[in-house]
Amino acid sequence: MIASLENWKKQVLSLPEISSQDLLASKTAFVIIDMINGFLTEGILSSQNALSVLPAVEKLLKFFKTNQLPCVAFADCHEPDCIEFHSFPVHCLKNSSESEIAPSLQKIGGFQKICKNSTNGFFTPDFQNFLNQHSELEKIIISGVCTDICVMQFALSLKAFCNQNNKNLEIIIPVNTVETYDALNHNAELMQLMALQIMAQAGIKLISEVNYHE
């Protein structure tokens, strides 16, 4: 049991890292969540916090592409009448520049883009097909934004799916690759730590980062 927020923060800051060789030793896939222009550089929901993790995500994507490991990248691609706009401002409309994957990630390539019309990409038909096509997976690495919304919802849904189906799939989040935004009534540090704690208690493995032994 976490005694206080400060104690939990210390635990997060002292998380172990994982070796890239461990990822190669297992059947591993990489999931990137909403590293798109509309959350990074333009639009009402863009955030410098989100942009700050882009270099770490780029590095992971390069590693997965170099080693020809499967990777998917979710992108908000909303219809104008999306019901989600009852809860959030209009953002990342389909076929807009906001809904495009960050240019630096596009330049690297090596991923399957999956458009989603809600905060939780787990339920998209394309991701369900991806899971079915990669039933051999032993690990899934998750990165992206926002930690307490799209990342957490996806990770918890994936974990519940694995539990329900008695599937021993390790779900790993390098905390240097996930972030959330700061706004009125949404303290980024608090929401980040709370989301990470909720995921850890659900059995999702938190690591500080991937060590590439460079």
Tell me the CATH number at 176: 3.40.50.850
Instruction: Pick the closest to residue 144 from 13, 24, 36 (CA basis).
Output: 36
Residue 1, pLDDT > 60, answer: no
**pLDDT for res 6:** 65
Residue 185 is assigned to a structural domain of this protein: yes
Outline where DSSP puts E strands in 69-129: 71-76, 112-116
Residue 151 is assigned to a structural domain of this protein: yes
**pLDDT tens-digit series, residues 78-137:** 888 989 888 888 788 889 999 999 999 999 999 999 999 999 999 999 999 999 999 999
**pLDDT tens-digit series, residues 134-187:** 999 999 999 999 999 999 999 999 999 999 999 999 999 999 999 999 988 889
**pLDDT for res 13:** 66
Residue 44 is assigned to a structural domain of this protein: yes
> Pick the residue with more confidence: 137 or 2?
137
Residue 163 is assigned to a structural domain of this protein: yes
CA-to-CA separations, 42 to 12, 78, 83, 120, in angstroms, rounded: 30, 16, 22, 21
Number of domains composing the chain: 1
CA 11 to chain centre: 21
| Number of residues that this document lists for the chain | 214
Provide the whole-model pTM. Answer: 0.93
**pLDDT for res 129:** 97
Residue 214 is assigned to a structural domain of this protein: no
Name the H helices within 46-182: 48-52, 54-66, 103-108, 125-133, 152-164
- Structural domain of residue 134, as residue ranges? 5-11+18-209
